[in-house]
Structure 1
Amino acid sequence: MAQFMSKVALVTGGASGIGRATVLAFAQHGAKVVVADMDEAGGNETVALARAANTDALFVRTDVSQAAQVQALIAAAVEQFGRIDFALNNAGIAGNQALLADYPEESWDRVIDINLKGVWLCMKYELQQMLKQGGGVIVNTSSTAGQSGSRGVAAYVASKHGVVGLTKAAALEYARKNIRVNAILPGTIHTPLIDTFTGGDDRIMQQFVEAEPIGRLGRPEEAANAVIWLCSDGASFVTGATLAVDGGRLA
């Protein structure tokens, strides 16, 4: 089980959902973990859960859309643990729901800043550290919306398509530097983000369920398992890939 003993994993958006599940999966595999999020209470709770799994853990409050805060996050991780072997760039928001012609500009900017610029900033400084230490693995959280359209959430769709593009570009740029870069494309995973989309409306939730060929929502742990595999030696020849964890939705 402890395939990541002596390794260090960084997870943004680690206070809940896929991020928290991935932190705990890394911990169960023996890695030290760094949890980044704007939600201090949730982030510290994730750290407590990781420590309960007998691993070292650190929380750093981080707004991923701010370069100085991302730099501080990477510096804190390296100061505490000496390196960053794995990174899951997972922080993201749903944004407003409105038709494109009616979409508020300030909402567009916020979604792009967090979901796309935030991933770019995290990769920028993670890559700098990984180059110094001789390698590493980055996984970005895109979405099935990174390969298909969806009505009413144009900013979210655009941001997640952008994450796929960033992933492929970085994978090619650093393929010969012992750094692999991949993305997961979660389908409808039952997380707080989905509750944001549904607004507590059971009918909308049922529509999400019916859209999944497998007939149910995904669990955060199922997305986390994909991240763990992409970071493992079992995926040593995998870079620039987009791995759908979507119950068959894209199919």
Structure 2
Amino acid sequence: MPLLSNHIAVVTGAGSGIGRAIAGGYAREGARVVVLDINQQAAATTAKEIRDAGGKAESFALDVTRRDDCIAMAKQVADKVGPVSILCNNAGIARRNGMLGAAEAVINDWEDIIAINLNGVFNVTHAFLGALRASKGRIVNIGSIQSFVHLRTPSSPAYTASKHGVLGFTKALAAELGKDGVRVNAIGPGFIETPLNEKVRAANPDLVKVFIDHTPLGRPGKPEDIVGPAIFLASDMSAYVSGSIVMVDGGYRTI
């Protein structure tokens, strides 16, 4: 029997990369998937791929930085799809800039990254919280190896701060919602090849080499590498797991 039968799963940032892979994985395990992305066409494409493969999916456009829109989306999903029992907060951006650049660029990076990667997780979670408490649901947040470490390459303090924040939010929410039967966990991807970092990988192969040289498994990750952990944390297989982060980094943090 599929692991996620009778569940409705919301996945943000599911128009591409890790979010698209997780949405497809949830659908293969029997969930009805609500695909959310700021890019409406990308969201629709993911949903169509799921339906073409025999799964169930609807898609909607959502900017996770817009709190009122998140609240409206939660109501729309409840009315049109049904009670949500799984939420995967995946939407995010990454910029590899430090603090020593032009002041305007540094400030813009901080505001944009925190708005999407951290405030966005809060906005969507808060909007769907009533449904998740009612269903004794599961929340899966996408953190990072930068939830723990600052990488050995020049990298954005804003991104590092945002992913530390996601892990802290995960733990705090797990402690608060446990009495309601809601489990809250995170996944910490390492260096994953996605459209988000495609240009950086193409323009800076030396940067890629730094990551791979520090990864015991000796390869970059693929979006599909995140799917198994995401299914585990959303399913009853992890019924006694909450407040944790599952690292999917090829062993990066071991050395």
TM over 0.5: yes
Partner of 2:149: 148
Of all paired residues, the percent bearing the same amino acid is 35
Which residue identity is paired with 2:17?
G
Partner of 2:116: 114
Identify the range of structure 1 (204-213 vs 1-10) with the bigger mean alpha-carbon deviation. 204-213
The two structures, once aligned, show a CA RMSD in angstroms of 1.4
Partner of 1:13: 13
Partner of 1:105: 107
Partner of 2:70: 70
Contact preservation (8 Å) 1:94, 1:196: no
Contact preservation (8 Å) 2:3, 2:236: no
Per-residue deviation at 1:154?
A: 0.7
Distance in 1 (CA, whole Å) between partners of 2:213 and 2:73 is 39
Contact preservation (8 Å) 1:21, 1:221: yes
Distance in 2 (CA, whole Å) between partners of 1:134 and 1:11 is 17
Distance in 2 (CA, whole Å) between partners of 1:228 and 1:19 is 12
Distance in 2 (CA, whole Å) between partners of 1:199 and 1:166 is 33
Partner of 1:59: 59
Partner of 1:50: 50
Partner of 2:226: 223
Partner of 2:211: 208
TM-score (normalizing by structure 2): 0.93
Q: In structure 2, do the counterparts of structure 1 residues 121 and 207 end up closer, same or farther at CA, with 3 Å as the change threshold?
A: same
Per-residue deviation at 1:104?
A: 1.7
Where structure 1 has 5 or more consecutive residues not aligned to the other structure, the ranges are none
Count the aligned residue pairs. Answer: 249
Per-residue deviation at 1:196?
A: 4.6
TM-score (normalizing by structure 1): 0.94
Per-residue deviation at 1:68?
A: 1.3
Distance in 1 (CA, whole Å) between partners of 2:237 and 2:92 is 28
Partner of 2:137: 136
Residue deviations 1:97-120 (CA, integer Å, cap 9, x gap): 332233621221010000000001
Partner of 1:195: 198
Alignment of 1:171 with 2:174, yes or no, is yes
Distance in 1 (CA, whole Å) between partners of 2:94 and 2:211 is 15
Residue deviations 1:148-203 (CA, integer Å, cap 9, x gap): 01333110000000000000000000001010000000001111122254353333
Distance in 1 (CA, whole Å) between partners of 2:3 and 2:170 is 25
Contact preservation (8 Å) 1:187, 1:246: yes
Where structure 2 has 5 or more consecutive residues not aligned to the other structure, the ranges are none
Per-residue deviation at 1:206?
A: 2.7
Identify the range of structure 1 (178-187 vs 205-214) with the bigger mean alpha-carbon deviation. 205-214
Contact preservation (8 Å) 2:136, 2:182: yes
Distance in 1 (CA, whole Å) between partners of 2:201 and 2:173 is 34
Per-residue deviation at 1:42?
A: 1.6
